[in-house]
Structure 1
């Protein structure tokens, strides 16, 4: 009996995808050729949008407790402070970047699988593939060289930049080198600066980045000059001298726990899908580590793909829904490759004539509040949108804020006598129907909103849940079978969502706006879900997903 999904690669992307699918009751196997989980820090920046996902998985607080929240980035040139970027202005509950070793991130993600009955199968490598119209047959090799075949309806390659799944399916495209080499080292550091921010030092011969890590360690990221001696591993004595020279201050390194030298090679596939095989994370695209976006982007890939794949696997939607995964995520990867390549070349600039110009440009640009806000919001992945997606639709009406395809902003509400945030209300396994009252909504308007919430749940059982958001702090009367009313006491939600009359927003399971309109009728909602998303109207059958765990 074939399983629903075989996931190759148990890094952060594969772990998150497995966690999302398992919550829907999708049968899966998660394999990894490595014998053990990651033991080193590797990718360590966890940004606000990723922390919102972690909150819905129930691991955000644990992640923050294990990491170091960093609220600012300080830039230096010639040892002098040049500019500062603060995360305090971003539109999120988590106004910082979390410094958390990848080993800890993987541990937390893997902990979400245990209650769902999923275990990572280690020392199991994917080697060969056969596809049919109904699924795939994969050849797997175990650590003892024994082979087996695995039948699955879908195969997802989350196996990193050197993806075997990508190569076997013929989706690989030649990459380009940025002629940039970096030394990384996790060490203890004796110097005169506090572990309160991410510091970047621009020197005459290169750049040094210094990031605080838990347990009194620091991550050093040092650009290696082109004329440097080729080496497999960093020379820590040279790294110490480079950090000291570029920061213009005494520095002493000790107790290294991990180090690596790498060169940047960028590549991206033209298509994320080949038959019943899809790619995610670094298997889809790999790029410069500038900005720490790689792991976060892979996690967003998984969160975008997970709910769509679950709908298709459970015959709740047509498989063409999976085509929107590439439509939405490829432009994100393409933009990331472009901006990180440009930023890396700008950072690596060695021309002594151009370096002073770089310093002036950076100093002037980053003094503008709007530039700072745009940069930190982009780093936090809050500006990612799917406005051109074929499954986004305006249903009519005038809205002064946001666009369909934008991330649903997190706003403060009140449920009963208790404060609550919208992200705590949104369902990661269902479409959430947000039904807004107007300032002058009459009792009959509220009744219509409650009826639409009931109708949506009845037409698409298990896939749509409704929430009424009432402006003000006067609790309206509701029947016992109606969901609790969320109070928008200070009007923040209505302002942020641009609502002036009774309106609905439909938020996708991944937290993005799929549909909105000012027509409070089940027909418009049903038309969007069935004809645009491709969701099956199961009201006459009473069908539900197998599990919403």
Structure 2
């Protein structure tokens, strides 16, 4: 991409949020460049579940059929403690065009989005990183570096990534969708403040004969949260909260190669440990564990940046917020942010509208995230809520796979409402 016409928007980060932002901009005729410091898409990534709101966005860009062909549809959420089913949420009762959650591998969605971008002659510049950004009222100045592998050493040979070329240029907008270690956020010196307790999960993915009836399940056990997601091809993913274990921050890094199926760097993740967790925390799960295809320990923090952006550099997705894994809220709300931000940029660049649109973007999504993270407002039980839901109402908020109006409707099904 070096030497080509300069972009109007530089998107940093080629995950779902960055790819979707680039696609929306490209659909409106905006010149886009998208870079990522990694060398390729992940070979294996964490469970991804697309909310109804995300499916509507994907329909708007003509990708819904491709997504639905690759997903497993989840129509309900079952809430369990020990053997007892305590409550349920029915997505199929929502008056929606897509009254379900679409479960798929994240790298599959990324592939669909990347192929769609190619139709607009936009390709991801892998091995490119943002090295510097200064932002002003009408543009940002950036330095982008191209990385290559170089052999080093004499007695002991090794390879390292080194800078082969750098480019300085001005760009009207920068969109930072580069994840929880965001270079854009750090370069702008935007605070990334803790917003709750960190959670650590042991994650197992395996084949099973379980008939999960198109349902995600949450199992509460002695203060721990445990999540069962059905996956395509007779598979499922169990995530068990570890109350006395601290995973490294790097545990959230996606694998660029297919990961080994054995315990690897987490020796406690044996088959026997999985059976023990299932017996203690989900005794109702008596189905087979046919072959474990993936196992890992993952750390999930709760954080919120002090602002969604500054002047002509703006953030979306995990670059600006993190929450627990159960409701997949950070990525899905990130897609809504990407759509909102991209459309605001289009209006500023093509219709000469005011930068006030960016302030509105910031205020709206900061407010939503302060609610989702329980920092302001929150939820309260109604008159007819059952005692178990009342007791666990605060913990349930980040576990519900929805946001906005859809979240309000699902809360109402179990007698809860926004304050």
C-alpha separation between the residues in 2 aligned to 1:225 and 1:252? 26
Q: Is residue 193 of structure 2 the alignment partner of residue 174 of structure 1?
A: yes
- On the 8 A contact 2:16/2:109 being kept in 1, the answer is yes
SS at match of 1:161: coil
**Shift of residue 362, structure 1, vs aligned partner:** 2.6
The residue that corresponds to 2:232 in the other structure is 214
Q: Is residue 406 of structure 2 the alignment partner of residue 380 of structure 1?
A: no
C-alpha separation between the residues in 2 aligned to 1:67 and 1:336? 26
C-alpha distance 364-285 of structure 1, shift in aligned 2 (>3 A):
closer
Name stretches of at least 5 consecutive residues in structure 2 with no aligned partner: 149-162, 252-264, 380-384, 408-419
C-alpha separation between the residues in 2 aligned to 1:131 and 1:138? 8
Of residues 7, 28, 34, the one that matches 2:32 is 28
The residue that corresponds to 2:331 in the other structure is 295
SS at match of 1:26: coil
Of residues 331, 338, 352, the one that matches 1:316 is 352
- On the 8 A contact 1:97/1:380 being kept in 2, the answer is no
1:30-179 equivalence runs, <5 A? 30-144=34-148, 145-151=163-169, 152-176=171-195, 178-179=197-198
Q: Deviations over 1:57-83 (max 9, x none)?
A: 111122112111111112222122222
C-alpha distance 339-209 of structure 1, shift in aligned 2 (>3 A):
farther
**Shift of residue 91, structure 1, vs aligned partner:** 2.3
- On the 8 A contact 1:2/1:150 being kept in 2, the answer is no
From the CA coordinates, give the structure whose radius of gyration is larger. 1
**Shift of residue 262, structure 1, vs aligned partner:** 2.4
**Shift of residue 134, structure 1, vs aligned partner:** 4.3
C-alpha separation between the residues in 2 aligned to 1:273 and 1:100? 30
- On the 8 A contact 1:13/1:280 being kept in 2, the answer is yes
Q: Is residue 206 of structure 2 the alignment partner of residue 184 of structure 1?
A: no
SS at match of 1:113: helix
- On the 8 A contact 1:244/1:251 being kept in 2, the answer is no
TM superposition score normalised by structure 1? 0.60
C-alpha distance 250-88 of structure 1, shift in aligned 2 (>3 A):
closer
The residue that corresponds to 1:245 in the other structure is 280
C-alpha distance 154-183 of structure 1, shift in aligned 2 (>3 A):
same
- On the 8 A contact 2:227/2:326 being kept in 1, the answer is no
C-alpha separation between the residues in 1 aligned to 2:115 and 2:72? 20
Name stretches of at least 5 consecutive residues in structure 1 with no aligned partner: 344-358, 386-549
- On the 8 A contact 1:67/1:100 being kept in 2, the answer is yes
**Shift of residue 203, structure 1, vs aligned partner:** 2.8
SS at match of 2:35: strand
Q: Deviations over 1:161-193 (max 9, x none)?
A: 110110011112332551422112222235x54
C-alpha distance 236-64 of structure 1, shift in aligned 2 (>3 A):
farther
C-alpha separation between the residues in 2 aligned to 1:328 and 1:317? 18
Q: Is residue 204 of structure 2 the alignment partner of residue 200 of structure 1?
A: no
Q: Is residue 308 of structure 2 the alignment partner of residue 272 of structure 1?
A: yes
C-alpha separation between the residues in 1 aligned to 2:397 and 2:50? 16
C-alpha distance 229-241 of structure 1, shift in aligned 2 (>3 A):
farther
C-alpha separation between the residues in 2 aligned to 1:124 and 1:76? 45
TM superposition score normalised by structure 2? 0.78
SS at match of 1:178: coil
- On the 8 A contact 1:186/1:217 being kept in 2, the answer is yes
Q: Deviations over 1:378-415 (max 9, x none)?
A: 74334179xxxxxxxxxxxxxxxxxxxxxxxxxxxxxx
- On the 8 A contact 1:42/1:101 being kept in 2, the answer is yes
- On the 8 A contact 1:181/1:263 being kept in 2, the answer is yes
C-alpha distance 229-8 of structure 1, shift in aligned 2 (>3 A):
closer
SS at match of 1:198: strand
C-alpha separation between the residues in 2 aligned to 1:78 and 1:318? 55
C-alpha distance 188-381 of structure 1, shift in aligned 2 (>3 A):
same
**Shift of residue 360, structure 1, vs aligned partner:** 6.4
C-alpha distance 131-363 of structure 1, shift in aligned 2 (>3 A):
closer
C-alpha separation between the residues in 2 aligned to 1:124 and 1:257? 31
- On the 8 A contact 2:199/2:324 being kept in 1, the answer is no
C-alpha separation between the residues in 1 aligned to 2:134 and 2:223? 51
Q: Is residue 243 of structure 2 the alignment partner of residue 225 of structure 1?
A: yes
C-alpha separation between the residues in 2 aligned to 1:284 and 1:228? 23
The residue that corresponds to 1:283 in the other structure is 319
1:323-334 equivalence runs, <5 A? 323-334=359-370
